[in-house]
Structure 1
């Protein structure tokens, strides 16, 4: 390839990039702009908690928390009544990303984006929930529903373990929340931005510029 061909190729790539940047894609979100899309502890954990800890209807009927409980398939008989959401729940065996608890049910959620599992991590969470003396489930939240390390599960009751993902459950939950918000409102815009960040992070609905085809 001579210099003239290289120059034409770079010009084509530049033009393609400009067209791509002008498109409405999930890459156009605040978290991508500041390079924080994959920060599970300081970004995603806080945003999800922010949404779970709020009621957006005077009667509490369109509660984002209730939408989330149904999305992760908490049995319907447990959804009614008050729920408490705790982020980074500390206990003797470590720290759980989220614990959602009612009088009769406890749900523990471990979120993994890039980090690996700790030693017997989910087994320790199982022991924590079991001591509550109520119905419970352990949720393992990853980008695409990946399974945890075998050593992390250890000897826990595997029937209590449920795999959920940003790509399915989180995106479906955000869409359901957006359906109840007035389009153009701060609430809707907040949800839309986070939805775009999750889509971009998981590669869902984001068509990137395929430079390798040009090369």
Structure 2
């Protein structure tokens, strides 16, 4: 086996990392990370932030006053099936969000609520967009929307929109997964390019232009492009110059994830004066995979366990358990130690920005933000006056 040294690769990338950190500090001093969506804790809200904002821009009758300008640009950046985009009448198009198409039936694969629905007339054509930021796939979701569209008796395209353009799960695509009846698009590629053009044509409308810029910056943040995209190209070139080293990193990627997750857990336990109960196999996925749990046990109160994890089909949350009093707690919207549901302790969902293992979470783990957040969650329980001493 060829021995590979990673040091040349790391040294070649280091200047770009240092420059990246310098740019971040400069942007912070200039207030360029100020973002109204983040401030209002709306940055990952699929329905009220992303679907609403995109649908409003696409709507020819939207409050922006630019009529069909944004919609005409949009259809240039997405791959439409069976249609010449120049024939679509964008002026008369109707754009709807959260469009109800009937009671959900996962057996018949019908019904549900479509995130964004665009209907064109003369010729008749429909665009359906299923929008995913953090939420997981729903059962037969794309299949239900596909069946709805097929009954329209005219051409359509069904889009699966995600941050990175990944494929949907078979849980969503249903019985006819092999047909691949959907198209994947991403915020990182198609949406970002579209927003860039939207900025160009809204220069004479400062209020609209400013809002689009804020939203574009949010997309950069969510897709890991918040700083210098030129730096990404430079790092990629260095990676291409060190293919053997990159292969070694790829082969050991899972080991890195396991190790850094274990490191975070140990740091949290130490900072909160707790002991950790869990196994190494659960460490990387304790907040993202089903039925993976890690418990933090206060050293001065061993009868207490603060569990972090995720049950099947649920979002990650943490809850309090006291030995001899209760088992799994009734999940509440907020931490309540004396709930109206008859259980002495409650539980709390974790911040939505930590719901999916992605670049944003990896960054939060590396820079200590994720560790500090978990420590705050534990201390919230330990310092609460209702905490059972």
The correspondence for 2:116, drawn from 92, 98, 114, is: 98
Alpha-carbon distance in 2 for matches of 1:143, 1:52: 19
Decide whether the 8 Å contact of 1:121 with 1:153 is kept in 2: yes
Q: Which residue of 1 aligns with 2:47?
A: 41
Decide whether the 8 Å contact of 1:109 with 1:139 is kept in 2: yes
Asked whether 1:187 is paired with 2:208, we answer yes
RMSD: 2.7
* Comparing 193-202 and 179-188, the one that deviates more: 179-188
Alpha-carbon distance in 2 for matches of 1:53, 1:91: 20
User: Alignment partner of 1:124: what SS?
Assistant: helix
Distance 1:29 1:176, change over 3 A: same
Q: Which residue of 2 aligns with 1:68?
A: 74
Q: Which residue of 2 aligns with 1:149?
A: 169
Which protein is bigger by CA-based radius of gyration? 2
Per the normalisation by structure 1, the TM-score is 0.79
Distance 1:49 1:155, change over 3 A: same
Alpha-carbon distance in 1 for matches of 2:26, 2:116: 41
Q: Which residue of 2 aligns with 1:200?
A: 221
Gaps of 5+ in 2: 1-21, 103-110, 229-362, 369-389
User: Alignment partner of 1:154: what SS?
Assistant: helix
Q: Which residue of 1 aligns with 2:199?
A: 178
Alpha-carbon distance in 2 for matches of 1:211, 1:133: 52
Asked whether 1:89 is paired with 2:89, we answer no
The Cα of 1:211 is off from its aligned counterpart by 4.6
Distance 1:184 1:125, change over 3 A: closer
The Cα of 1:33 is off from its aligned counterpart by 2.2
Distance 1:78 1:138, change over 3 A: farther
The correspondence for 2:29, drawn from 22, 41, 51, is: 22
Aligned residues: 194
User: Alignment partner of 2:37: what SS?
Assistant: helix
Distance 1:66 1:181, change over 3 A: same
Gaps of 5+ in 1: 1-15
Decide whether the 8 Å contact of 1:126 with 1:156 is kept in 2: no
Structure 1 stretches of at least 4 aligned residues deviating more than 2 Å after TM superposition: 16-21, 54-58, 77-82, 155-160, 205-212
Alpha-carbon distance in 1 for matches of 2:145, 2:88: 21
Q: Structure 1, residues 144-183: CA drift from partner, whole Å, max 9, x if none?
A: 1011111211234744310011111111111111111226
The Cα of 1:68 is off from its aligned counterpart by 1.1
Decide whether the 8 Å contact of 1:30 with 1:197 is kept in 2: no
